Amino acid sequence: MRNFKDATMKVWAVGVDAMTTRQCEVRLGDHNGQVEVIYEDKARDDSSVSYEGMAQGEGHYLLECESLDGRASLHRFSDSLILEGYWETTEASGMWRVELGKVTDIVTGESASKPVVKTVVTTDEDEDDDYLLLEAEEEDEDDDWSSKPRRYRFPLRSDWDVNLRLPDDMTRREGKRMAAFIKSLSHFD
């Protein structure tokens, strides 16, 4: 079970104009699909509130809160730092968003701590063309790009290379879109 003790919960209630932000703790069971969201409720003398539930499919959770007679849903993309969903109690209902850590991309929930991809020119002796080997390192803004499409070789495993042909003027947005596509192809336990 993974514990996120410094998670942030943003709550929107139906009929209320303002959003409420509070600290919470989230516990996610990697193998058994359990989820728990715990927070202190200021309206109830700082009593602890706990929504608990199980996965109903990969990244989809149904939760219940006994103390508030509530139920909720949360949804999460694989490896995202964001869970979003709906909640309701006998007194109110609304939407909620739980951020498990510092979120730099508000849509994908990607963290700033992920490495930046740098390109390094290498020569493959079996081919006439130069390839670029992708490595996770600090970003170097002095890379000299030509105007033709570039071929890349990425060593995915010791026995498997991935070859890509990409435009040299690929934007950061296109890169993020491509990364999201590749993430969707992988299978997690």
Residue 27, domain member (yes or no): yes
CATH number at residue 49: 2.40.128.120
Do 39 and 87 have their domain in common? Answer: yes
Predicted confidence at residue 87, as pLDDT, reads 95
Phi, psi of 137 (to 5 degrees): -150, -175
Q: Residue 147: which domain range?
A: 115-157
Do 64 and 133 have their domain in common? Answer: no
Q: Does the pTM exceed 0.75?
A: no
Question: Under a CB-based contact definition with an 8 Å cutoff, are residues 156 and 162 in contact?
Answer: yes
Do 65 and 153 have their domain in common? Answer: no
Chain centroid to CA 34: 18
Residue 70, domain member (yes or no): yes
Do 142 and 76 have their domain in common? Answer: no
Residue 36, domain member (yes or no): yes
% helix / strand / coil in the chain, to the nearest 5? 10, 50, 40
The one-digit pLDDT tens for each residue of the chain (189 residues) are 788 888 999 999 999 888 899 999 999 887 778 999 999 987 777 689 999 999 998 889 999 999 999 999 999 987 788 999 999 999 999 999 999 887 666 555 565 444 444 444 444 444 444 444 444 333 344 444 444 677 777 787 788 888 888 887 888 888 888 887 787 776 654
Predicted confidence at residue 185, as pLDDT, reads 75
Question: Under a CB-based contact definition with an 8 Å cutoff, are residues 109 and 129 in contact?
Answer: no
